[in-house]
Chains A and B, each alone.
Chain A
Amino acid sequence: MKEISIYIHIPFCIRKCYYCDFTSFSNMNDKIPKYMKSLMVELDLYKERLRDYTIKTIFIGGGTPSAIEARYIYDLLGHLYKNFNIFKDLEVTIEVNPGTIDKEKVKIYKEAGINRVSMGVQSFNDSILKSIGRIHNKDQIYESYKLLRDEKFENINMDLMFGLPNQTLEEVLLTLEEAISLGVEHISHYSLILEEGTQFYNLEKKGKLNLPKEDKERLMYHKSTEFLVEKGYNHYEISNYALPNYECRHNLVYWELAPYLGVGLSSHSYMENMRFFNTSNILDYIEKLEGKLLPIEGEEAIDKSTEIEEYCILGIRKINGIDKEEFKKRFNVDIEAIYKDPIDKHTNRGLIIDNGKAIRLTKKGLDLSNLVEVDFLK
């Protein structure tokens, strides 16, 4: 049976952070019951199509999934287990924000079969947390973390950020140190991206954002990577680090261009050579599903050459790079037969290395990966 992953989007938040441009709302709480019902209907509409699939991972993201009552999550997952084929070693992740969970909630998550928790920590520095629009403080990170450990959650990720306004290298490393000393199994360490429409973007345009200079930002990245690797974390994707065997299987699905179904507002799916995505209008979403219609807003057929380019763009993000044998197995052709020129070009420029087995980014390539990826496009 084929494998598939499920992404479930929970678009509700207590407050929108200054850097965030994901589909999320802080003033739509009255829509929660209807929205959660719509999610179930949407899943039901895929029941036939997923008959021949086994669900391998589930990721509940947001927004802030922990901002809504835990019973919704429990019911939703229960619905999934009951109606779909489930892999016995299922990975189920939920994103939580410090300060939004309590003992009861965590207990329900456990009972719901969740076995991985991704905490939106971002920093252990209170003034930085405040300046990026987070609602929690450092103490709440510790409290929430303890609640999770008390309930025997054994696979915890922390999302952390660097390259933030007024942030120093020292602060970046201190934050990492705190996360490591707590013993988290996984760290996603993201460099700030200024997205159009966010508060930060607008401030930057007005020249009011004191961002670290490029060289300093790269130093943060390099030092962080060094530090994490030294502490036993395996650097396995541009921004991701894990203790051995704790790599996030759900995210690997994206990077390996394996099939996934996204349900919920504005979520994206990739299966059976189609990529499609849902509306980002919550009222439309609910209305469509009330009429038992899929809320799909757009779709694109992925032909073989597109699949190849996407496979490479995503695959090269992995530190181990693109495995040549797997490439050949999947596409029936050698990667060199298609991409000889870009491979030669970027090998000469020192951005990638071909060790015979795989093609991967060099240290320099990790800083300039877009230059490589652009040349994988047709």
Chain B
Amino acid sequence: MERIKQENIRNFSIIAHIDHGKSTLADRLIEETGMLTSREMQNQVLDNMDLERERGITIKLKAVRLVYKAKDGDEYLLNLIDTPGHVDFTYEVSRSLAACEGAILVVDSTQGIEAQTLANVYLALDQDLEIVPVINKIDLPSARPDEVKKEIEDIIGIDCEDAPLISAKDGLNIGDVLEAIVKHVPAPKGDPKAPLKALIFDSYYDSYKGVVCYVRVFEGTLKPGMEIQMMSTGKTYEVVEVGINTSKHVSVDRLEAGDVGYVTASIKNVKDARVGDTITDNNNPTEEPLPGYKKVVPMVYCGIYPAEGEDFNTVREALEKLQVNDASLVFEPESSAALGFGFRCGFLGLLHMEIVQERLEREFDLNIVTTAPSVIYRITKTTGEVLEIQNPSNLPPETEIASMQEPIVSANIMTPTDHVGAIMELCQNKRGKFLNMEYLEEKRVVLHYELPLNEVIYDFFDALKSKTKGYASLDYELKGYEESELVKLDILINGELVDAFSLIVHKDKAYERGRSIAERLTDVIPRHQFAIPIQAAIGSKIIARETIRALRKDVLAKCYGGDISRKKKLLEKQKEGKKRMRQIGSVEVPQEAFLTVLKYDENK
């Protein structure tokens, strides 16, 4: 393949709020550049995991290379790098933006700018990217492109005069977007002869090739046969293949400064090719790695247990398979009195946790039970010994504890000014420490708070979304540990302590949390033949009590004449429901109970 010169390369991402049309636009760009025929296009080419499509979010990023013949007669090489769109993956977003020189900002002309968009725009501006605004959905009767343009100019301060007005759905004016990319996104710089610097912005495991790293080469040249070094670990590998992504992997003889592509080097685990790491030439190494590498550590833990009738080893195998592709997932075996043998798993955040759970259920067809998420607490015992605890059941008795510390995050909450009051109330309720408030523009602010992570992982996102109608966005990073008065909250069902429900909470929140969990369990646990007391306790002290009334009637009055299959269907449904139950003493607890008790209560 004839190489296109560096000045004709454009590396860019698309930034958009959920539903504003990012994936649809990506599809159209791919179609328009003729890389794929319409028939080959599966809808929404970039999001290829079922789960992503269903949730309308992109979880793992990917890159695709387009060849575009511009109006000036030249051929350009456009590398579109996709980004995930959730706070749990902020780091990954920042790394894929770091691989670009520009970003298309897609704004829905019926909605205007939304909080989440802004967070990513600021990430892009941090990386000095050129922002190319695009106004989408202009085919809709409620479109108000002029207002939206003004909004972008006011809020972000970028010129929107020439912003393409498009309908990604109808394929309208997609050519304008391509022209704008060519015109406004700067060409990459970098010397193909300099020592190699390549940024890994994504990696995944392929059973034939080993780990496939998606890279952006900033300096130097990457070729098969070279000995490369991962700069964060110092580990070295021999490059087997380098290539580019069209609709499939196409191997090439080299990747040069400015190029986006992939590299394989018989790497066995994604842990050894971490996102954000710099690849260099082991025989001619660069002095400095690219900035911004962080080793991502799990912040949220929960127990994952095989459900009734599911095998421990099958769950282990599934987790191992997921881990091969997900460097931020960790797990180790543990056991619970209520749930038997299972795994304690660590995640980046709640969404990451939910995604892993869903993948286990869908891709591996497993029935699992999940326990309440927890963070890592630091316990100093009276003996002076320091423990890190992420499973509440492992908390030593109160008398042996000298002090406890919990993780605190610095949180930035971006919001229209209308919701400041509600957010402050929420943060206060979540034991937040207000630092300051910054005006981004007249109607938009960032609130800076310090929040205990265990409050954030409980129901903070849902509460924030609900109290601000989805307009506020949150990002956070770990600040450190602080001393805190924490207690272990236990739940007793029918008099029996269920360790899988135990939580570590701040002492001032224990009563409220205990009551709320007891109430929710009353809703999710089906009525039994007998009344079931649900109690919340700290040590031996009961702090809340609810009762599930006894079931008085479960009988079919009529047998539908000879239609026995109809009656059987009803019974089979009932039986199916029972299968998803976990027997705790004489009480059948639905698996959902372990998670639903943690969801945000709108009425609170």
- Chain A residues within 8 Å of B564, by CB: 254, 268, 270, 275, 310, 313-314
> A7-B562, A268-B562, A374-B575 given as contacts; is B557 within 8 A of A193 (CB)?
yes
For chain A, residues 238 to 267, give those with C-beta under 8 angstroms from any C-beta of chain B. Answer: 238-239, 254-255, 260, 262, 267
Cβ-defined partner of B572 (8 Å) among A300, A349, A377:
A377
For chain B, residues 571 to 589, give those with C-beta under 8 angstroms from any C-beta of chain A. Answer: 571-572, 574-575, 578
* Interface mask (A314-354 → B, CB under 8 Å = 1, otherwise 0): 10010000000000000000000000000000000101000
**Is B571 touching A313 in the complex (CB atoms < 8 A)?**
yes
- Chain A residues within 8 Å of B571, by CB: 313, 370, 373-374, 377
Judge whether B72 is part of the interface by a CB distance below 8 angstroms: no
Cβ-defined partner of B563 (8 Å) among A191, A268, A374:
A268
> A254-B559, A351-B529 given as contacts; is B565 within 8 A of A214 (CB)?
no
Choose, from A129-137, A288-296, A361-369, the stretch at the interface.
A361-369
- Chain A residues within 8 Å of B552, by CB: 214-215, 218, 367
| B579 → A minimal CB distance (Å) | 11
Distance between Cα atoms of A377 and B572 in the complex (Å): 8
- Chain B residues within 8 Å of A367, by CB: 552-555
| A88 → B minimal CB distance (Å) | 24
- Chain A residues within 8 Å of B574, by CB: 370, 374
**Is A349 touching B529 in the complex (CB atoms < 8 A)?**
yes
- Which residue of chain A has the shortest Cβ distance to B564 in the bound complex? A310
| A201 → B minimal CB distance (Å) | 15
Judge whether B39 is part of the interface by a CB distance below 8 angstroms: no
Judge whether A122 is part of the interface by a CB distance below 8 angstroms: no
- Chain B residues within 8 Å of A214, by CB: 552-553
| A304 → B minimal CB distance (Å) | 16
Distance between Cα atoms of A317 and B560 in the complex (Å): 13
* Interface mask (A210-242 → B, CB under 8 Å = 1, otherwise 0): 000011011000000000000000000011000
**Is B559 touching A255 in the complex (CB atoms < 8 A)?**
yes
**Is A262 touching B562 in the complex (CB atoms < 8 A)?**
yes
> A214-B552, A367-B552, A370-B571 given as contacts; is B558 within 8 A of A193 (CB)?
yes
- Which residue of chain A has the shortest Cβ distance to B563 in the bound complex? A268
Judge whether A61 is part of the interface by a CB distance below 8 angstroms: yes
A-B contact count (CB 8 A): 85
Judge whether A182 is part of the interface by a CB distance below 8 angstroms: no
Judge whether A277 is part of the interface by a CB distance below 8 angstroms: yes
For chain A, residues 160 to 192, give those with C-beta under 8 angstroms from any C-beta of chain B. Answer: 190-192
Cβ-defined partner of B556 (8 Å) among A255, A370, A377:
A370
Judge whether B567 is part of the interface by a CB distance below 8 angstroms: yes
Interface-centre pick from A215, A313, A374 (highest chain B CB count, 10 A): A374
**Is A368 touching B529 in the complex (CB atoms < 8 A)?**
yes
Cβ-defined partner of A368 (8 Å) among B554, B558, B559:
B554
Judge whether B437 is part of the interface by a CB distance below 8 angstroms: no
**Is B565 touching A317 in the complex (CB atoms < 8 A)?**
no
- Which residue of chain B has the shortest Cβ distance to A377 in the bound complex? B575
| A229 → B minimal CB distance (Å) | 18
**Is A313 touching B561 in the complex (CB atoms < 8 A)?**
no
**Is B555 touching A370 in the complex (CB atoms < 8 A)?**
yes
**Is A193 touching B556 in the complex (CB atoms < 8 A)?**
yes
Interface-centre pick from B557, B558, B564 (highest chain A CB count, 10 A): B557
Judge whether A38 is part of the interface by a CB distance below 8 angstroms: no
Judge whether A45 is part of the interface by a CB distance below 8 angstroms: no
- Chain A residues within 8 Å of B563, by CB: 268, 277
Distance between Cα atoms of A214 and B565 in the complex (Å): 26
- Which residue of chain A has the shortest Cβ distance to B528 in the bound complex? A371
Judge whether A269 is part of the interface by a CB distance below 8 angstroms: yes
- Chain A residues within 8 Å of B553, by CB: 214, 217-218, 367-368
Distance between Cα atoms of A226 and B529 in the complex (Å): 23
| A205 → B minimal CB distance (Å) | 18
> A370-B571, A371-B529 given as contacts; is B562 within 8 A of A238 (CB)?
no
- Which residue of chain B has the shortest Cβ distance to A5 in the bound complex? B562
**Is B562 touching A369 in the complex (CB atoms < 8 A)?**
no
**Is B568 touching A310 in the complex (CB atoms < 8 A)?**
yes
- Chain A residues within 8 Å of B558, by CB: 190, 193, 239
Judge whether B422 is part of the interface by a CB distance below 8 angstroms: no
**Is A239 touching B551 in the complex (CB atoms < 8 A)?**
no
- Which residue of chain A has the shortest Cβ distance to B530 in the bound complex? A349
**Is B557 touching A191 in the complex (CB atoms < 8 A)?**
yes
**Is B562 touching A374 in the complex (CB atoms < 8 A)?**
no
- Chain A residues within 8 Å of B555, by CB: 191, 238, 366-370
- Chain B residues within 8 Å of A267, by CB: 562
**Is A268 touching B554 in the complex (CB atoms < 8 A)?**
no
| A103 → B minimal CB distance (Å) | 29
- Chain A residues within 8 Å of B567, by CB: 313
**Is A254 touching B561 in the complex (CB atoms < 8 A)?**
yes
Distance between Cα atoms of A262 and B16 in the complex (Å): 61
For chain B, residues 426 to 483, give those with C-beta under 8 angstroms from any C-beta of chain A. Answer: none
Cβ-defined partner of A270 (8 Å) among B554, B557, B562, B572:
B562
Distance between Cα atoms of A277 and B560 in the complex (Å): 13
- Which residue of chain B has the shortest Cβ distance to A257 in the bound complex? B564
Distance between Cα atoms of A300 and B566 in the complex (Å): 13
For chain B, residues 518 to 571, give those with C-beta under 8 angstroms from any C-beta of chain A. Answer: 529, 551-559, 561-565, 567-568, 570-571
- Chain B residues within 8 Å of A370, by CB: 554-556, 570-571, 574
**Is B562 touching A254 in the complex (CB atoms < 8 A)?**
yes
- Which residue of chain A has the shortest Cβ distance to B573 in the bound complex? A374
- Which residue of chain B has the shortest Cβ distance to A61 in the bound complex? B561
Distance between Cα atoms of A191 and B88 in the complex (Å): 53
**Is A7 touching B561 in the complex (CB atoms < 8 A)?**
yes
Distance between Cα atoms of A369 and B578 in the complex (Å): 16
- Which residue of chain A has the shortest Cβ distance to B578 in the bound complex? A374
- Chain B residues within 8 Å of A217, by CB: 553
| A55 → B minimal CB distance (Å) | 15
* Interface mask (B188-219 → A, CB under 8 Å = 1, otherwise 0): 00000000000000000000000000000000
- Which residue of chain A has the shortest Cβ distance to B555 in the bound complex? A369
- Which residue of chain B has the shortest Cβ distance to A378 in the bound complex? B575
- Chain A residues within 8 Å of B572, by CB: 377
| B559 → A minimal CB distance (Å) | 6
Distance between Cα atoms of A214 and B549 in the complex (Å): 11
- Chain B residues within 8 Å of A369, by CB: 554-556
Cβ-defined partner of B568 (8 Å) among A192, A238, A313, A366:
A313
- Chain B residues within 8 Å of A364, by CB: 529
Distance between Cα atoms of A368 and B568 in the complex (Å): 16
- Chain B residues within 8 Å of A349, by CB: 529
Distance between Cα atoms of A133 and B580 in the complex (Å): 40
* Interface mask (B585-600 → A, CB under 8 Å = 1, otherwise 0): 0000000000000000
| B8 → A minimal CB distance (Å) | 62
- Chain B residues within 8 Å of A313, by CB: 564, 567-568, 571
Distance between Cα atoms of A138 and B383 in the complex (Å): 85
Distance between Cα atoms of A192 and B554 in the complex (Å): 13
- Which residue of chain A has the shortest Cβ distance to B566 in the bound complex? A268
Cβ-defined partner of B562 (8 Å) among A239, A260, A300, A373:
A260
**Is A238 touching B557 in the complex (CB atoms < 8 A)?**
yes
Distance between Cα atoms of A371 and B529 in the complex (Å): 9
- Which residue of chain B has the shortest Cβ distance to A163 in the bound complex? B557
- Chain A residues within 8 Å of B529, by CB: 349, 351, 364, 368, 371
Distance between Cα atoms of A103 and B570 in the complex (Å): 42
Distance between Cα atoms of A215 and B572 in the complex (Å): 26
> Please, could you name 24 A-B residue pairs with CB atoms under 8 Å apart, sorted by A?
A7-B561, A190-B557, A191-B557, A192-B557, A214-B552, A215-B552, A218-B553, A238-B557, A239-B557, A254-B561, A254-B562, A270-B562, A275-B564, A277-B563, A277-B565, A313-B564, A367-B552, A367-B555, A368-B551, A370-B554, A370-B570, A371-B529, A374-B574, A377-B571
Please give the residue numbers on chain A whose beta carbons come within 8 Å of chain B beta carbons, in ascending order: 7, 61, 190-193, 214-215, 217-218, 238-239, 254-255, 260, 262, 267-270, 275, 277, 300, 310, 313-314, 317, 349, 351, 364, 366-371, 373-374, 377
Closest 6 CB pairs of A and B: A191-B557, A268-B562, A370-B554, A190-B557, A369-B555, A268-B563
Sample of 6 further A-B pairs with CB below 8 A, known A193-B558, A314-B564, A374-B578: A191-B557, A254-B562, A268-B563, A349-B529, A369-B556, A373-B571
